[in-house]
Amino acid sequence: MDRKELELYLNDLLQAPRFRDYCPNGLQVQGRETVSHIVTGVTASLALVEAAIDARADAILVHHGYFWNGEDARIVGQKHARLKAILAHDVNLFAYHLPLDAHPELGNNAQLGALLGIDPKGRFGDDELGWIGELPQPTTLAAFAETVSARLERAPLVIGDLDRPVRTVGWCTGGAQGWFDAAVAAGVDVYLSGEASEQTTHLARESGVAYIGAGHHATERGGVRALGNHLAERFGVRHTFIDIPNPV
């Protein structure tokens, strides 16, 4: 398909213009005009870029791209190495951050909720990026944490009484531990995100609401993979998801 056609479709599908984000969403690095093979991954690290080049991809589609607010604008060091590789091989780089978190079907939160068997019931937070839902039946924090570990193939950080009953879950993938207060106010039994900060422990202990830190990378693999599969089905392009392991 044509690069411009792909860009316009993705911007419309993910409603990219409506988000005030920390980085530019959409086509970040221009490459060849025709796209027949798309590689997806969580972050446009040098390892992913090199793997995509080895796979002869025409485009790389990620959740974490480049040009973040406040970063050094100079093209030096690792930024130079990444961009040099992309430009030398004429590969397109597309990145969607908050728009990919928010999409109601293909987004990171939607995909994580489906993976964990949570029935969505509502939203909270800025741009309604936080999700609230219910488990099919009440369980314990320990049992739910075991489900998270098995589905994400990663042992999570769990803060709270392992024997406490849980049914209502709040979640937001990635580095959304700052929304724990909002989740507590929304009345959830447990809040799940990717990371934890020092104050997260105190809030969990004092509020009585459990917290699960399931991994920034692990919680954000679903959206970009689902988006790539969607593009392959709709446009007949080849899609390859490449997971670069990350313990964080």
Percentage of residues in the chain having pLDDT higher than 70: 100
- Two tokens, residue 194: 């990717």
What's the confidence (pLDDT) of residue 142?
98
37 carries a ligand binding annotation? no
What's the confidence (pLDDT) of residue 92?
98
What's the confidence (pLDDT) of residue 152?
98
Which pLDDT band, with edges at 50, 70 and 90, does 248 fall under?
Answer: very high
For residues 169-175, give the mean pLDDT: 98
Q: Are 213 and 156 in contact (CB under 8 A)?
A: yes
Per-residue pLDDT reduced to its tens digit, 24-60: 999 999 999 999 999 999 999 999 999 999 999 999 9
Res 231 pLDDT > 90: yes
| DSSP string over the chain | -BHHHHHHHHHHHTTGGG---SS--EEEE---SB--EEEEEEE--HHHHHHHHHTT-SEEEEEE-S--TTS--S--HHHHHHHHHHHHTT-EEEE-SHHHHH-TTTSHHHHHHHHTT-EEEEEESGGG-EEEEEEEEEEEHHHHHHHHHHHHTSPPEEES-TTSEEEEEEE--SS-GGGHHHHHHTT-SEEEES---HHHHHHHHHH--EEEE--HHHHTSHHHHHHHHHHHHHH--EEEE-------
- Two tokens, residue 120: 């969505």
For residues 147-175, give the mean pLDDT: 98
What's the confidence (pLDDT) of residue 164?
96
Res 204 pLDDT > 90: yes
217 carries a ligand binding annotation? no
What's the confidence (pLDDT) of residue 64?
98
Res 96 pLDDT > 90: yes
What's the confidence (pLDDT) of residue 45?
98
Q: Are 209 and 188 in contact (CB under 8 A)?
A: yes
Which pLDDT band, with edges at 50, 70 and 90, does 126 fall under?
Answer: confident
Contacts of 123 (CB under 8 A, 6+ apart): 129, 130, 131, 132
For residues 187-206, give the mean pLDDT: 98
For residues 132-140, give the mean pLDDT: 97
Q: Are 29 and 83 in contact (CB under 8 A)?
A: yes
What's the confidence (pLDDT) of residue 127?
81
Q: Which residues lie across from 40 on neighbouring strands?
A: 61, 241
216 carries a ligand binding annotation? yes
Instruction: Tell me which amino acid residue 22 is.
Output: Y
Which pLDDT band, with edges at 50, 70 and 90, does 128 fall under?
Answer: confident
What's the confidence (pLDDT) of residue 233?
98
The residue count of the chain comes to 248
Average pLDDT, the chain: 97
5 carries a ligand binding annotation? no
What's the confidence (pLDDT) of residue 236?
98
- Residue 235 and residue 7: Cα distance in Å, rounded? 13
What's the confidence (pLDDT) of residue 125?
85
63 carries a ligand binding annotation? yes
